[in-house]
Structure formats: structure tokens, C-alpha cells
Structure 1
């Protein structure tokens, strides 16, 4: 984090502000953890801050301190609009394009507040006055820690703040196994544990709260897995009918895509999930090595993200989407077999 960004944020926070903090639609552990971490910090500094999320988030994240204060736009649009209209500063966390926030997009496009972006995804937009973008970071939570440290305010890190950032780092690094996990990441995590983050509690509450229906859904997903050995690729499909049969709840499919990469020789794993309410197929891409799923998602499925983890979408049927996907693989055969 460079000195210029630190100075700009410090200047902004030297006076009382009305602050709104916003993560991307369908927020994950890093999105919720980073917004909560920043919210705790700003409140500890005496700022008037509120978190607004575009839509609801998984139950396995709702144990974190402060989640009960989060405003969900789809449930309380009126309050959210008022807060955004009155905001003097808007922090956008864990996304870098306003198209990632669903129905909140037009409200932010019309907002008069000063925007601050903190994000680690590739190819950021230029909507923010202050942009802290670093694709080498493990998570947005690690970046929020860097902001607090850069402002010489680590003494403001409470146990509530620490567990929020720890949880986001843990989930976005695949429990510290992804290549984005650096020695610096472990240093930050160690400092968060020293500040009161209970690491075992975080693991248990995120990963060990399965319902029988979720495990049955996982079984269905694994049964549906297709392995394309010629392309070192595996993909999973889940139809709306299958989701309904296993009483799908938001967050239930989290991590399913990673099972493909546990197979020997597989370097590209994908899950296609039908969402009839939105009329789309939601897609998650994962890879190992140098194969860029970010570039693949951007080129073919209206998405993007990181080199080894990205998302996308399709507006055609589940069958047509997988047919298109399979038709694309031959042109990437050399890369997938490198």
C-alpha cells in the first residue's frame, strides 16, 4: 500500500463523515469480513458508518460480530437509499466494477459521495477517487488490515474486528492453501490472532455447520460431475430442480467447484448452477497453475476475477451452456495440457 493512498484516506477520515460500506452482490466470506472489519474500525474511530449489502448472505457468515447491523438492500431498500443519498464517503470493497452490485448500481452512479475502492480483482474500473487495488493480495480483508496498519491504528483492532478479517482471509485463501497466500498473509493472520481472533472458532462456524440437505446436495453435485480427461477438466451441473429437491439455501454450494481440482491431473474445474428466478446459469471457475480462468470467463461468460478463481454467467439453458463450454475447450487444449 503506497504512501499516497494512505495519506488520501487519512485526510478523508480526519473529519467526521457519513460513510456507507458496500460489498458485491452475493457477498462471500471476504466481502462480509472486509466490510465488517472496516466498519468496526471506523466506528472505533468515531465515524458514522453503515454497511449495505445488495442481497442476503449465507447463514454460515451471520455469526460474525456486527452482522445484525448490516442493511440488506433487497429487504430494506428505502433505508438504503436514504443512507446512500446522505453519504459523504462510500467505500466499495471486494469488487472493482459497479456492475457487480446489482440493483445498487444506479444509486451509486448517482451518488455525490467520495468513493474509495479497496479490492484485489483484476482490471479495476476508475469510478473511485481513491483506489487501492492490488491483485497480488490474498483477500480484501488483508488489504483492510494494510489500510489500518498504514494509518498507524493497529491499536484500534478489537477482537471483533480481528475475527472479521481473519474469517475473510481464511475463506478467500481456501484455508490458506491457495497460491495467493504469502508470508505476509501469515504475518497478518498471526497479528489478528494476537488481537483476539479465535481461529478454531472461525473454522468451525464456517465449515462445520452443514445441514443434512447440504451434504445430500453435495452428493448430487459429485454424482453429476463430468470428467474430460483430454482437457484435464472437470465440471459439475446443478439444475433448479435438483436445488429445490435438496432444499437449497444461499451458500449451500459454496466450495463445490473445488472438488474437481482434487482429482489427479485436473487443472480446470467448473460448476454450472441454474437460477430460474434470475433466468441465468451462474458459473464458478477454478484452475491450478498458469491457466487463467479470469481471461476465460471474461472472453466467454460475461465474468472475471482472478487468474485461478473467477465467476461468470450464461443467459441460455443449462444444457446449451455446457455444450458451449465443451465446444470452447479444444482451442485451450495446449494451455490445459501444458
Structure 2
């Protein structure tokens, strides 16, 4: 939607810009937000990154993190003022406004020029300019391409490159997933050439753990991993008390579902997590099995074919039972994928 020239014209003079991304930002969400923020600051714009919730500590190393405003009930008026006064609002790594919670209606009603950069399915029609490509591995990949389209590749420095590299690395599963295309490698090569320290970024994200997080991981793997061999499915169901037991923080369950998917013979893996405000679900699958279909059809969610999320208001037990009942209808597809 929109012509790149409309965005070029909008950014031709100094703007007040708000950048936001989805609830519980991951590396692609925060990396694209801070990557774009650092670029636009170099262009002379007044930029504020606002997230609808907190995010993992292993992302705090990114340049600009200290200036991020995290939405809370206490600062909602301040957030609303930033959004109301913005000339441009840039929304990254989500396609529908409910993904930013209370901020969604603020953005919808704002008079600002709205930009959406994303790679998820079924985008909502709210942007004046949209760069949207479901074939892109990550929003950070698209942000790199947008900066190039705007004629400013030379402004990408080491800090910007590392923010963008982080999102590409994680959304491709460390360059292991099928979405790791030739273009992904070409963009990553460009970022490393600019100065991104790929070893440092990987260590910050994958190898920075608290003792409690490692103990929780051991507990989950030894006590909470369940396998349904007849459905080629494995899952974790984590209670709120168990999260409290290990003083779990945002991001401590990141990547847990992938351990279930790594089991030989498993096609579908799920993490059910009771955080005290409903049951949140992370789906992962291999091959052509549509994890996003189960998420959207039965669990108020969606996402990519092999990586999706969902949420229910039921109990943990009710949610797991519902999931098991749904698997019966998908058994032929699960069997087919397993036998490929």
C-alpha cells in the first residue's frame, strides 16, 4: 500500500516519529525498532520507541535500549501524548493493531502518517505506506531493504547493523529454518561487512542466561516434556506456580518449544504457559504442517506456517485437553508429514 515516494516526501523534513512493535517484543521486533530508530535519528528526526510491554533482558544490549519507553498503566497518558503529537508512526513486526494492546486504538486514531513494515499474514488496513512481504524471513530483513530503498544504505553503521542482524538471526532459527533464503545470506553478508559482530550478537542472545533460567530449563526438560507419539507431537505445559518457583522473567521460556520440536519423529510442538493472565501458546512445526491454522482456528492466534502463537482464557488443563481433541482431525496431516 502506498508509494515509496510518499514516504520519502514524508521524511524529507525533520519529523516527530514514534516507532512501536508487538506485545512482548522478540529480537526481530526490538531489533527492527531500534535499527530504524538509530537510522532515523542519524537523519535528523526526533524518534521515540515505545513498546506495549517489557521484553527479555538479553536484548538490552542494543543501542537505544535505555531510551525505550515501555507502556504501563502509569505512563499511558505520556504514551498517548507521544502518539498524538507524532508526525509519523512506524509500526514494525505486526500486521494488526490489537497486537499492541491499548496502544492500538491510539495509533488507529492518530493523525500521523502511518508506516507498517511486516512479514506476517493478513495485514489490517491502517497504514499510509506498507512494506509487507510474507516471504521475508524477518522484519529486520525488510527494514534493511527499506533503508536501501530510501537511498540511505551508507547510513547503516555497526550499531544499526547489529540490531538488524539480531532479528534476522533469530527469526531464521540461527539460519536453520527453511526461510533462510539466498537474500537472507546476502543481507547478512552486507551487515557483517558494515561491521556487525555476528559472534557477539549470538552470544548476547543465545548464551546469556541467569542461573534460574538454566535451572528452569532443566526442570522443564526432565519433568514437563510430554510426548504424544500417535500424533507425532510433543508439548510443555507450564503452570504459573512453576514460573514463580524459578523466579521466571520475560524471555526465560524463549526457545523452550524448540527442544520439543527437536525430538526425532516430532512434527508439531507446543508450549502452553500460564502466566496468570490466560494461557499463552507457542506452536512450532516442520515441513508443510500448518501450525498457524491450529493457532488461528482454535486458539485466537495466528502467525507463520511453522511458527505461530495463541491465547485462551481457560485453565491450563482445559487448554491442553482442547488441543489434544483438535489433534484428532489433524492426524492424517501429521502422519503424512512424518512419513515424508
Tell whether 2:74 aligns with 1:64.
Answer: no
**Matching residue of 1:173:** 172
Deviation at 1:5, TM superposition (A): 3.8
**Matching residue of 1:218:** 217
- Shifted more, 238-247 versus 100-109: the winner is 100-109
Task: Within 5 Å, give how 1:287-306 maps onto structure 2.
Answer: 287-306=285-304
Q: Give the one of 7, 18, 21 matched to 1:20.
A: 18
Aligned partners of 1:336 and 1:52: how far apart in 2?
40
Residues 293-317 of structure 1: CA deviation (Å, up to 9, x unaligned): 1111110000001011000001100
**Matching residue of 2:151:** 152
* Structure 1 length-normalised TM: 0.96
Task: Within 5 Å, give how 1:111-126 maps onto structure 2.
Answer: 111-126=110-125
Contact 1:142–1:188 (CA under 8 A) maintained in structure 2: yes
Aligned partners of 1:296 and 1:30: how far apart in 2?
23
Task: Within 5 Å, give how 1:95-134 maps onto structure 2.
Answer: 95-134=94-133
Aligned partners of 1:82 and 1:8: how far apart in 2?
25
**Matching residue of 1:54:** 52
**Matching residue of 1:265:** 265
Contact 1:5–1:132 (CA under 8 A) maintained in structure 2: no
Q: CA RMSD in A?
A: 1.2
Residues 217-261 of structure 1: CA deviation (Å, up to 9, x unaligned): 112222211111111111111100100111101100000011111
What secondary structure does 1:316 align onto?
coil
Residues 280-302 of structure 1: CA deviation (Å, up to 9, x unaligned): 00000000000111111110000
What secondary structure does 2:19 align onto?
strand
**Matching residue of 2:194:** 195
Unaligned regions of 5+ residues in structure 2, if any? none
Contact 2:4–2:129 (CA under 8 A) maintained in structure 1: no
Aligned partners of 1:188 and 1:6: how far apart in 2?
20
**Matching residue of 1:241:** 241
Residues 187-235 of structure 1: CA deviation (Å, up to 9, x unaligned): 1111111111111110111111111211111122222111111111111
- Shifted more, 149-158 versus 138-147: the winner is 149-158
What secondary structure does 1:337 align onto?
helix
Deviation at 1:15, TM superposition (A): 2.3
Aligned partners of 1:25 and 1:77: how far apart in 2?
15
**Matching residue of 2:228:** 228
Contact 2:232–2:266 (CA under 8 A) maintained in structure 1: yes
Contact 1:159–1:195 (CA under 8 A) maintained in structure 2: yes
What secondary structure does 1:37 align onto?
helix
Aligned partners of 1:5 and 1:38: how far apart in 2?
19
Aligned partners of 2:193 and 2:229: how far apart in 1?
46
Residues 9-59 of structure 1: CA deviation (Å, up to 9, x unaligned): 212211222110000011010000000011011111111111010111110
Runs (4+) of structure 1 moved beyond 4 Å? Answer: none
Aligned partners of 1:285 and 1:82: how far apart in 2?
36
**Matching residue of 2:34:** 36
Matched residues, number: 334
Tell whether 2:327 aligns with 1:329.
Answer: yes
Unaligned regions of 5+ residues in structure 1, if any? none
